Amino acid sequence: MPDEKPTTAVHENTREMVKEARVKVGELRDAEDLTPKQMNLVDTAYALLVDLEDLLVLANLKASVERLQDKADQLGTINANLKKSVGKLKKVAKDVGDAAKAVGVLVEIVAKASAAGLL
């Protein structure tokens, strides 16, 4: 994916900007000199920024699932090739296989949680 790094950088920059705005708006929630109407606007902005932050984290997780699955598949292929080797590589092959299985389980859990609306 040639565009992955620029997209990731933009995503992280946006997430950081939303977080900074949420923190600053959160500080306003303690201000005593705001009218009820102003406080309502501040509370609404804060809630929206929290939602945006959550959505950006979720988007990042969903994008990561595909990359995690790809890496797990690559580990599986390497593991199959390692098993063909002898001696010291057999132990490494078992460890790599265990890691590939663990990542596969993680991918399934995140995908199911995402599909269920938990993420």
pLDDT tens-place string over residues 55-95: 888 888 887 888 888 888 888 888 887 777 666 667 777 87
Mean pLDDT (the chain) is 83
Structural domains of the chain, count: 1
Whole-angstrom distance, CA of residue 79 vs CA of residue 45: 50
83: containing domain: 4-115
pTM comes to 0.57
Q: What is the pLDDT of residue 3?
A: 47
* Interval 8-14 mean pLDDT: 82
Q: Which of 24-28, 49-53, 66-70, 88-92 has the lowest mean pLDDT?
A: 88-92
Task: State what percent of residues in the chain have pLDDT above 90.
Answer: 27
Yes or no: say if 61 and 110 are a contact pair by the CB < 8 Å rule: yes
Could you give the CA distance from residue 81 to residue 63 in angstroms, rounded to a whole number?
Answer: 28
